[in-house]
Each structure stands twice: as structure tokens, then as C-alpha cells.
Amino acid sequence: MRIPFLPGRDPSFIRRLINKLSMIAAGSIIQGYAMAVFLFPHAIPSGGGAGIAVLLNHGFGIPMSLGLWFANIAFLLFTVHYLGSVSAVGTVLVITITSVSVNFFEVYVAPPMNNVWLDLLLGSLLLGTGIALLMKQRVSNGGIGYVALAIYKYKRIHPGTSLFWMNGFIFALTAYVIDWQIIVLAVLCQWLSTRMIHFILRIQSPRPALRPAWRKK
């Protein structure tokens, strides 16, 4: 009797899995590169987890990469029981690869320009590119995004709204502790990276099936 292939033994399944993991790794590395080389040298937080990493580095000297990992994992653990452990696996992978990338690039790659406005522009565009690649694979780019999904599931508050207020609070706290200019840079970073995300998803993923996962109920 001929025994059918198990899903995990299907060559096409394995190819799709390898392709998905490769895209997740690429998006995470690009995101980590943008943070480490262009944004973090100016203490520009790219999101809530990055804002906490900047605060931990400023107040306690904790490396950005380690602070980023702990902050995002804390957000994730806080909400994992709302969304399920299986759906958290991709986010854990993203958080870990991004944090390792930040550590690598901080050690081995020197900022090329050291101009805050040019670094903000390039870092935001690269960050948006990395996040767009992750969104195409239906994974969150950080733990705070997972919190937004949990809030949406149980309180029906749009993820964009909850992310805005959570990130806004962390940005304001970071600006208060370090420098008020940071909040302006952080908001510009968010706007530029969001424009880049929309641009990439619009030109490469016009089909509704490839929209970001949080848009689906």
C-alpha cells in the first residue's frame, strides 16, 4: 500500500518553509541594521521596544541589543496567553535575530555619516523595508505589536490606535529623560518608515490576501 507523504515531508512544503524563514531572517537583519547603524547612535527609538532599550542604555548602561531583546520579550510574554504560543514563535524569532543583528552591527559596522538627519532618513527607510518584509510573512516586528494584536482581539481597539498611544507614551518618556528633540525624531522615523511600508506592500503585494495579518479578524 502506498503511504502518502506527511506534510512535513512534502518537498514543496519544505521549500515554502525555507523561503518563509529566509524572508523573516532578511527582514529582521535589515531592521537590526537600520537601528544599530543609523538610529541608535542618535538615541532615536524606532518603536516602543526600542524606546525602552534606549532608556535602559541611558540609565543603566545595558547594551541596546540586550535591552531591545528583554523589552520585546517582556511585551510578548505579557500577552502570549491571549494569542497562543504557536503564533508567538515567529515573533520570538524576529526579536532574537533583530537583537543579535543590532549587537553585531554595533560592534563591527561604524556609522557612515554621523549626521542625524541623513541617518534618520536612511534608517527609517531601511527600517520600513525590513518591517514590510516581515509583514508579508505575517509576523510582528516586535513584542509591542503583539500587545496591539491582543488588545484588538479582546477590546476591538484597532492595532494602529493602540500602537500609537503605547509608542507615544514611551517616546515622550524617552524624550523627557534624555532630550526633547528625540520625540520629534521618533515621530519622523515612524512616519517615514510607515510610508516605506505602505509603498512596498502596495507595489509588491496588491492582492488582499497579502495584507498585514492584523487587518484580519
pLDDT tens digits, 87-121: 678 888 999 999 999 999 999 998 888 899 999 99
Domain housing 130: 16-205+209-213
Would residue 9 count as lying in a domain? no
Query: In this model, does residue 4 exceed pLDDT 60?
Result: no
Q: What is the pLDDT of residue 114?
A: 84
The identity of residue 165, as a single letter, is W
Would residue 84 count as lying in a domain? yes
The identity of residue 200, as a single letter, is I
Q: How far apart are CA 140 and CA 91, in angstroms?
A: 6
Q: What is the pLDDT of residue 9?
A: 59
Q: How far apart are CA 99 and CA 180, in angstroms?
A: 26
Domain count, the chain: 1
Q: What is the pLDDT of residue 135?
A: 83
Q: Which residues contact 17 (CB under 8 A, 6 or more apart)?
A: none
Would residue 41 count as lying in a domain? yes
Number of CB atoms found within 10 A of residue 25's CB: 15
Q: 1: which 3 cell numbers? A: 500500500
Would residue 198 count as lying in a domain? yes
Would residue 11 count as lying in a domain? no
∠ CA 64-59-56 to the nearest 5 degrees? Answer: 35
Q: How far apart are CA 173 and CA 55, in angstroms?
A: 9
Q: What is the pLDDT of residue 85?
A: 63
Q: For the whole prediction, is pTM greater than 0.85?
A: no
pLDDT-based confidence at residue 211 (cuts at 50, 70, 90): very low
Would residue 67 count as lying in a domain? yes
Would residue 150 count as lying in a domain? yes
Would residue 4 count as lying in a domain? no
pLDDT-based confidence at residue 15 (cuts at 50, 70, 90): confident
Q: 87: which 3 cell numbers? A: 503564533
CA-based nearest residue to 193, from 163, 158, 173, 149: 163
Q: What is the pLDDT of residue 216?
A: 42
Of 12-21, 76-85, 142-151, least confident by mean pLDDT is 76-85
Query: In this model, does residue 213 exceed pLDDT 70?
Result: no
